[in-house]
Every structure is written in structure tokens, then in C-alpha cells.
Amino acid sequence: MKKFLTIGLACLTIGASAQLQEAIKLTDKEQFEKASSAFKHIVEAQPNNGEAWFYMGENFFANDRTDSAEASYRRGVEVNPNFPLNYAGLGKVLREKGKTSEAQAQFDKATELAVLKSNKYSKEQIAATYREEAEGLLAGNKPDYDAALALLQKAIDLYPKDPDAYIVKGDALFDRNPRDGSAPLENYKKAMELDALNAKPVARKAFMYYRAKNFPSSIEEYTNAITLDPGFAPAYRGRAEAYFKARDFDKATADMKKYLDLNAGNTSARVRNAQFLFLVTKYDESLQEIQALEDEGVHSMVLKRLKAFDLAEKGDYVAADAAMKLYFAEQPEEKVISVDYEYAGKIYQGLAKDTTLNSDSSATAVPYDSLAAEMYMKAARMDPSKDYLYLEAAKAFTDARAYGKAVSAMRQKVKSPRPEVNDWYYLGAMANRAKLYQTADSAWAEYIARQPNIYQGYLYRARSQAGMDTAEVKNWSAKPYYEEVIRKMKPEEQASQKAELEEAYNYMGLYYLYSTTDMDRAKAKCWFEKVSELDAGTSITKQVNDTFLKMKELKDVVPSACGLDDRPK
């Protein structure tokens, strides 16, 4: 939490000021219950201290107790209407609830009070207001990065000595573009220069490396944070997670134990321990901790979410579904996050595969595959970094035989910032199944451009081209692509993929037998004989042997060289 340094401190005793700063430090160290108790003592002694109410709200907000945070901010406004930070806090809560216009009104009020000359706030105090507003703009499911960064720059220009402004700026830059670590790193380093003994920017730097999957560097920076402040509990939790990702399970467990020791008696720490146990795939232990906390009367949406996740990972999809439904029923829509929908999709997919639940093929059967796909779509739309979920949605739609919807999902995937080669493969395959042959053909063209030396793209493009032919009009436009299948298929593939090679041979035979522009029965017989020699054992094999090679038009024809003439344009 950020320090508003001097606003209101003139009216506090030196002892009360020190108590406030210690309480703020407890919040920074994730000792939320101890911090809450400390703030309570301060506001009981000084009920008109708007600053104390603000930081009490910040403590609740950091502990995911949004309603309590809002109550604290509102109380701060009541006791000191000219103190700007509580308006910024209210704006943050409102953005968390998705009420962006109402939030902006609170931010505007905070700015108005901070710059009002009669309030006589210093540059440092005004800059702190901008910083808190910026942090508020980053709250909720739709952070306004541009507006937040503009405010942070105003804060830094006005008072460049505030390390917290650089920390928030680094966080905003990294969240906006996790692939560019240089700009956030520059800001974290600046914060460290301004407050060399502060472990928080070092831990933020460590987390940046963690998100980038650079676990050795993450561990090193978390260790540096711990060296600066051995009591900074979040660094132990962060390092535990980094150790786990680096497969050093003993050190991960030791660090999490240290985190719990530093937060002994802290319910929030136990909630985070349940999350850690989930992370390290100890799902039964995580569920035991959740149950113990719930038995003690702890009501936490984090725990309700986590219970569903644990059960899903254990493969108990029926119980997971029940837990997920309870979670969605209680969690306000604006606080549902992308991973919630992702797990809902995973749970529905698990239910779809449960034969005991899906023996009923009637119209009353639950369409779990379609439900899974819709959840994946919601998750992907909410978090652009999870564009891989469009593919999962497309697969689930395909399982539900909703091929048109599968194609729509894959269209979203190929439009993402990071389309992969196989995305075009899946789009083409699903479009073929949906009989959207033009879409399929375009997809296979893209796939071939990226994989020109393998036969599969040509095979599927041939199928899409063939699909565009009708009984009335047959353009034979698949021919050059089937020829490329024959050219590109390697000998070892020919032995294992006889049916696909046979398909190409058969098409060539049909082309030369029936094409009105290039009829050549000697070539047709050559290709049909190749089908017979290949002996793939399919319905095509039978049809060629029993029909085409015995038909009067070919029976006495002497085959010529088959030949491959065309190349795809």
C-alpha cells in the first residue's frame, strides 16, 4: 500500500503517526489481520483521521474484502470531506465493480480536492493523489492503462522522489505488455534507487521474472528482497512459487512454511497456503485446508473458487460442477475472472466424457460440450493472453457437432496476436466439416504457405477444392493439390498412410476418366491400377477393383504413364 506521507500527519501525535506507518507496513507484508487490528486501534483513538480510514480501506482491499474497504473509504469521506485519497479509494472499488463512470466521478473529486488552493496540499501530496487514482484505474476486469500511465507521469513530473509511483508504473507497464520487461524493469530500478531498503520493488522485479518464466532470476531477486527485509513475507511466498516452477520442491515447501510462520495466526496467509498447495498439485491437502478454514467460519470467495479448481484437477467433475455453481451464484459478475470461466469449461468437458451422465442421447440431455465451449470463449475474450482457449472452444464445439461455431472460434484464434501454424490446420479441418469450403480453402492456403514441404496441407486443400464442386458443375480444381500430395508424401508415409495416398490416386483416375477437357483413359487406367496395387483395403479399393477396372471403357485400354503435370497456382 502506498504512503500518503504528510497529509493529515500534522494533526497526529508523533506516536500515532508511527503507529500508522507500522500498520501500513503490516499490510505490505500481507499480515492483513494484524494490520486491521492496528488500524482499528488508531481510528478508535482518532475517529476523524481520514488518512487512517484510507489505509484501513487499502488493507481490506488488498485482502480482497472489497465491501469492508468501501465502508472504510466512505467513513473517511464522512470524517474528513477534504481528504482526497478516500475518494480515490472509492473510485477503485467502483471500478472493481465495473462502474467506470461512477468511479471516474470519484477520481475527479479526488483531483479537485488535491489541487484546491485553499487545502494547501504540497506537490508531494497532489502527486500521491494522482498515483492513487492511477492505481484505481488499473482495478477491475478492464484496466485503463493509458489513463493510468498518464496520471502516473503527472505524479512523477510533479514529485519525482516517490518510489511507489515508479512501482505502480512498472506494474502497469508489465500488465499491459508482459512481453516487454525492459520498461517495467527500468521503473522498478528507479524505485530501488529512491528507497534502497525497500523490499517491495525488488519483489516486483522478481515477480516480473516469474511471469516471464525466468525462474532462476526470479529466485535471485526474491532472495535479494529477503536480504533487504527478512520479515517481508510476500517474498517467501513468491520464492516458494518460483522454486516450485524450478522443480526444487523441498525449498519451495520450506519457503511456504516460513511465510506461514511470519504470518502465524493470519487467516489470509492460510488462504494463500491453500492456493500454494493447489499450485504444487497437492489437491487433497489444499481441500483439507479449505475445509478447515470453512469449519472455522471463514467466508472467502477465493476458497470457494479454489475448491472447484481442486476438485476439477482431481477429476471429480460432478463435485467440481456443484462447487463452481455455488461460486458463480455468490461471486458478483464483475469479480469473476478469466480463469473461472476456463475451469468451468474444463469441468463441463470432464462431465461430457462421463458416460454415466451422457447415456441419454435425447433432446433433454445436458449439452456439456457446448457449455464447455461457451465458457472457454468467455475466458478468452476476457483475457487476450489466453487466446489458446479459442482452440479449446473450437474442439469442444466440434465434439458437440456445432461445426459452424467451431469455425467462428478458430477465426478468433487466427486473428489473435500470436497465431500458430496449426491454427490454420484446425480452422481448415473444422471448416471442411462445416462444409464452409471457401473458408477451409483459405485456411489451407495459409497452412501450405507456412508448411510447404509436407503433404497434409495439400491433401486437405484438395478436399476443400473438391467440396466446392457440385453434381452439376465439376471444375476438377482439386487436381493440382492431389498431385502435390503424391509428390510430397515420403516413402515411409506412403507405407503408413495408404488410404490418403489412395485418395489422391483415385481422384487422378476419376479426373482422366471423366474430365471433359482432359479425358485420357490410358492415364485413368494407370491411376486406377496404382490404387489396386496399393491395396489399402478401403471402400475405394473395392470400387476400383470391382467397377472401374472392369468397366467397358477401360477394360481393354492399355495404360500409359500416369504422369504429374500441374502445380498449384
For 313, the grid coordinates are: 484437477
- pLDDT class of 4 with cuts at 50, 70, 90: very low
Segment 253-272, tens digit of pLDDT = 999 999 999 888 788 889 98
Segment 173-187, tens digit of pLDDT = 999 988 888 999 999
CB 16 within 8 Å of CB 44: no
- pLDDT class of 364 with cuts at 50, 70, 90: low
> What pLDDT, on a 0 to 100 scale, did the predictor assign at position 335?
86
Segment 289-312, tens digit of pLDDT = 999 999 999 888 999 999 999 999
> What pLDDT, on a 0 to 100 scale, did the predictor assign at position 264?
81
Question: In the predicted model, is pLDDT for residue 1 greater than 60?
Answer: no
Is the domain covering 368-555 a CATH 1.25.40.10 domain?
Answer: yes
- 10 Å CB burial of residue 449 (0-12, 13-18, 19+) is exposed
> What pLDDT, on a 0 to 100 scale, did the predictor assign at position 6?
40
Q: How many CB atoms lie under 10 A from the CB of residue 193?
A: 11
Q: Cα dist. 301→294, 305, 541 in Å?
A: 11, 6, 61
202-216 b/e (C-beta count within 10 Å ≥ 16 → b): bbbbbbbbbeeebbe
Segment 139-168, tens digit of pLDDT = 988 899 999 999 999 999 999 999 999 999
Segments making up each domain of the chain, as ranges: 368-555
CA-only gyration radius of the chain, Å: 32
At which residue does the C-alpha cell 465493480 appear? 97
- 10 Å CB burial of residue 267 (0-12, 13-18, 19+) is middle
| C-alpha to C-alpha distance for 162 and 68, rounded to whole angstroms | 28
Q: Global pTM? A: 0.77
Question: In the predicted model, is pLDDT for residue 320 greater than 50?
Answer: yes
**Mean pLDDT over all residues of the chain?**
91
